[in-house]
């Protein structure tokens, strides 16, 4: 019988710990498939964050680091400065990690034009610790640390990392995608592939932000969560390319 599909070898056989309906499983597979298709012969090192994807080192089947909370871009910098241009170095980070505790590290990795790629999974909540307000939590969205919903007067408006990092002079390519439907999943994979290709071509810092559902902490069924993402996150976090120096 002809084999028509195989799981990419850049994912281990370890069973994901992610909740039903979580977007991490899809995004992990996209990242791993892109790595596989690049034929890097082991020249790839990933850096996992703190948060729901803290165990990404158990899932991505390549050399991996587990970084301190928010510090993945700094760790990746240290790695890249040693291994050089022939090795793909990527960070995989959530919104609590990247957009809150790790803002200094992500801004300065972009500022230095560090030749690494970041996959930024934005689900507008702290997942691993059980649904606290993130910098990305929408105004009015309920979380365990804003039980009445995010109050703009008290906490400000959610931070837009793709837009913000696009304003950093040395960032190279910044795109926001989503995994809410097949078409957008395919677009996400293309964006990841582009970010990784640009890195291997020696270009500057690239980030793909991916809007991703968190049914568990949003208190919704998986299908409802997809709809909530479309109705609430996508209007505030518009999809698209925010910076592309290659196209300029």
Partner 1 sequence: MALTLMKGSEAIAEAAIRAGARYFFGYPITPQTEIPEYMSARMPEVGGCFLQAESEVAAINMVYGAGGTGARVITSSSSPGVSLKQEGISYCAGANVPCVIINVMRGGPGLGNIQASQGDYFQGTKGGGNGDYHLLTFAPSSVQEFIDLMMVAYDKAEYYRIPVLFLADGIIAQMMEPVELPEMVDFKIDPEKKPWACTGWQPGDDPEKRGIINSIYIDTESLAVHNDELQAMYKTVIENEQQWEEFNCEGADYIITAFGTVARIAKSAITELKAQGINVGLIRPITVWPFPYDAIKKVVAQDSVKAVLDVELNEGQMLEDVKLAIGGAKDVDFFGHCGSQMPTTDEIVAKILSMKEGK
Q: Which of 111, 190, 197, 203 binds partner 1 (CB under 8 A)?
A: 111
Q: Which of 9, 14, 85, 227 binds partner 1 (CB under 8 A)?
A: 9
Q: Is 118 in the site for partner 1 (CB under 8 A)?
A: no
Stretch that binds partner 1, among 104-112, 154-162, 195-203, 213-221 (CB under 8 A): 104-112
Q: Smallest distance from the beta carbon of 27 to partner 1, in angstroms?
A: 19
Q: Smallest distance from the beta carbon of 36 to partner 1, in angstroms?
A: 9
Q: Is 241 in the site for partner 1 (CB under 8 A)?
A: no
Q: Is 41 in the site for partner 1 (CB under 8 A)?
A: yes
Closer CB to partner 1, 57 or 92, in the complex: 57
Closer CB to partner 1, 79 or 214, in the complex: 79
Measured in degrees and rounded to the nearest 5, phi and psi for residue 185 equal: -65, -45
Q: Which of 34, 47, 165, 174 binds partner 1 (CB under 8 A)?
A: 47
Helix axes 103-111, 72-83, angle to 10 degrees: 30
x/- mask, partner 1, residues 156-195, rule CB under 8 A, reads ----------------------------------------
Q: Which of 14, 37, 78, 223 binds partner 1 (CB under 8 A)?
A: 78
What is the secondary structure of 11-46 as a DSSP string? B-SPPP-PPTT-SHHHHHHHHHHHHHHTT-TT-EEE
Q: Smallest distance from the beta carbon of 89 to partner 1, in angstroms?
A: 9
Helices (H), the chain: 24-37, 56-59, 72-83, 95-96, 103-111, 152-155, 161-166, 182-200, 215-218, 222-228, 234-236
Q: b/e string for 159-181 if b means 16 or more Cβ within 10 A?
A: bbbbebbbebeebbbbbbbbbbe
Torsion, CA 36, CA 175, CA 96, CA 107, rounded to 10? 100
Number of residues that bind partner 1 (CB under 8 A): 36
Q: Which of 33, 38, 87, 164 binds partner 1 (CB under 8 A)?
A: 87
Q: What CA–CA distance (Å, rounded) separates 60 from 53?
A: 11
Q: b/e string for 45-68 if b means 16 or more Cβ within 10 A?
A: bbbbbbbbbbebbebbbbbbbbbe
Interface with partner 1 by CB under 8 A: which residues?
A: 9-10, 40-43, 45, 47, 54-55, 57, 61-68, 71, 74-83, 87, 104-105, 107-108, 111
């Amino acid at each position: 019988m002809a084999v028509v599909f195989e799981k990419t070898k850049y994912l281990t056989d370890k069973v994901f710990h992610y909740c039903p309906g979580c977007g991490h499983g899809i995004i992990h597979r996209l990242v791993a498939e892109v790595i596989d298709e690049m034929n890097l012969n082991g020249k790839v090192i990933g850096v996992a964050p703190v948060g729901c994807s803290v165990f990404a080192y158990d899932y991505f089947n390549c050399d991996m680091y587990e970084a301190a909370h928010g510090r993945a871009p700094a760790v990746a910098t240290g790695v890249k400065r040693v291994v050089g241009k022939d090795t793909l170095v990527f960070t995989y980070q959530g919104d609590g990690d990247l957009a809150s505790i790790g803002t200094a590290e992500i801004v300065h990795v972009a500022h230095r034009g560090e030749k690494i790629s970041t996959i930024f999974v934005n689900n507008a909540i702290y997942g691993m610790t059980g649904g606290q307000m993130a910098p990305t939590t929408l105004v009015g969205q309920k979380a365990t640390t804003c039980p009445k919903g995010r109050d703009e007067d008290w906490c400000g408006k959610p931070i837009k990392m793709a837009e913000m990092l696009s304003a950093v002079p040395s960032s190279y390519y910044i795109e926001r995608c989503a995994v809410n439907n097949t078409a957008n999943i395919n677009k996400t994979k293309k964006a990841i592939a582009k970010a990784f290709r640009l890195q291997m071509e020696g270009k500057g810092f690239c980030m793909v932000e991916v809007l991703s559902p968190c049914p568990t902490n949003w208190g919704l069924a998986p299908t409802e969560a997809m709809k909530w993402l479309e109705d609430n996150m996508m209007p505030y976090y518009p999809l698209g390319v925010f910076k592309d120096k290659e196209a300029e």
